[in-house]
Amino acid sequence: MSLFTRWWPRPRILSIETPKGPWNGDDQGGGGGSGPRNPWSVPPGGRKQPPRATALDDFLRKARGGGGGNPFSGLPTGPNARSLWLLGVGILLALWVLFTSFHAIGQGQRGVVTFFGRYSRTLDPGYSLTLPAPIEQVATVDVQNNRTENFPDGGGENLVLTGDKNIVDLSYSVRWTIASPEDYLFQIEDPKATVRATAEAAMREVVANVTLDQALTSGRSPIEINVQRRMQEILDGYRSGIRIQGVALSKVAPPNRVIDAFKGVTAAAQDAQAARNQAQSYAQQKLARAQGEATEFDRIYDQYRLAPDVTRRRLYYETMEQVLARSDKTVVEAPGVMPYLPLDRARRAPEPPAQPDIQAGGAQ
């Protein structure tokens, strides 16, 4: 095409001027025209260069997602990247040492220190310093709080067999604390389950050696003491680090299915005990009276041995006095004795005078 244009000149009609834009033909904004300059064109002095981004700006831009799908695209680059990396690593190292080396152990707590997982020592309450994790780690254990386990868990019946082949429903609680934190953490896997299993075994063992009446009445306190002692023996054999503070029986009753029959038996036993007590009281009264009479006879016999005639006459007088005191008597003197005395009429009381008939007198 350039070949033909070199041989034949362009016709004049095709050499018309191109139409000018709204910026007087100065679309490039060179400033040669008289009209306003195109605001989207390059200024006369050239475009200003943007400020050079620092390593921190580059890191923040890539952290906001400018790195694409590459997981390492957000890492800072540039001459200041090494200093920034050293500063960040130093801050993280200081925080790691601060939070894993200084420990505050509260009152009533103990800190168990492990060196690469092996037990090292136990920290007392206060502030302590250890090597940073994972070289040394500290587990805090509360040794002051009393933990309570209730049996049965969630209510219901807890049937236990007694020594006389009866069944009793028991509800009780066990209080325990931590005596050795290191044994508590390393010797048993599940301390709570161990305490519950030990309590049930010790309770069934102790109740199996008592009768139903003992469990319901006077044997409750010995049962609590024996269960606590037996539990402590078992847990000490496990080296569990647990101390049993006490066992309390809250309910000792027969099963619900036989509660009515048991109440009848209890009432009959109470009546039998009342009759037994009454008989024993009567026997004690009779025995005391007999012992008193025997003592009196021994005293009189001693006096009789010293003066038989006087003692015999005295006994006769005392006996006659007792006999005559309870009978009617008529004393007759010897001189002027009448041959006949109406003794039967003399003993009668005089009849009271007749009372006038009030109704008859009123009618007249």
What lies within 8 Å, CB to CB, of 24 at 6+ separation is 33, 34, 35, 36
| pLDDT in the model for residue 180 | 93
| pLDDT in the model for residue 277 | 94
| pLDDT in the model for residue 155 | 75
- Gap between the Cα atoms of 186 and 213, Å rounded: 43
CB 169 within 8 A of CB 158: yes
**Burial status of residue 199 (CB atoms within 10 A of its CB: 0-12, 13-18, 19 or more):** buried
pTM of the predicted model as reported, rounded to 2 decimal places: 0.53
Give the start-to-end residue ranges of the domains of the chain: 101-142, 147-254, 260-313
| pLDDT in the model for residue 113 | 92
Q: Give the class (CATH, top level) of 147-254.
A: alpha beta
CB 160 within 8 A of CB 206: no
- Gap between the Cα atoms of 23 and 328, Å rounded: 168
pLDDT, tens digit only, all 364 positions of the chain: 444 444 445 555 444 455 555 555 544 444 455 555 666 665 665 566 666 666 666 666 665 655 555 555 555 555 566 788 888 888 888 888 888 888 889 888 999 999 998 999 999 898 888 888 888 899 999 999 999 999 998 878 899 999 988 889 999 999 999 999 999 999 999 999 999 999 999 999 999 999 988 998 888 999 999 999 999 999 999 999 999 999 999 999 888 888 788 788 878 988 999 999 999 999 999 999 999 989 988 888 888 888 888 888 888 888 888 888 877 766 666 666 665 555 555 555 556 665 555 444 444 4
Structure tokens at 22: 């709204």
Three-state secondary structure string covering the chain: CHHHHHHCCCCHHHHCCCCCCCCCCCCCCCCCCCCCCCCCCCCCCCCCCCCCCCHHHHHHHHHHHHCCCCCCCCCCCCCCHHHHHHHHHHHHHHHHHHHHHEEEECCCEEEEEEECCEEEEEECCEEEECCCCCCEEEEEEECCCCEEEEECCCCCCCEEECCCCCEEEEEEEEEEEECCHHHHHHCCCCHHHHHHHHHHHHHHHHHCCCCHHHHHCCCHHHHHHHHHHHHHHHHHHHCCCEEEEEEEEEEEECCHHHHHHHHHHHHHHHHHHHHHHHHHHHHHHHHHHHHHHHHHHHHHHHHHHHCHHHHHHHHHHHHHHHHHCCCCCCCCCCCCCCCCCCHHHHCCCCCCCCCCCHHHHHHC
| Beta-bridge partners for 113 | 121, 138
CA dihedral 288, 290, 296, 302 (to 10 degrees): -120
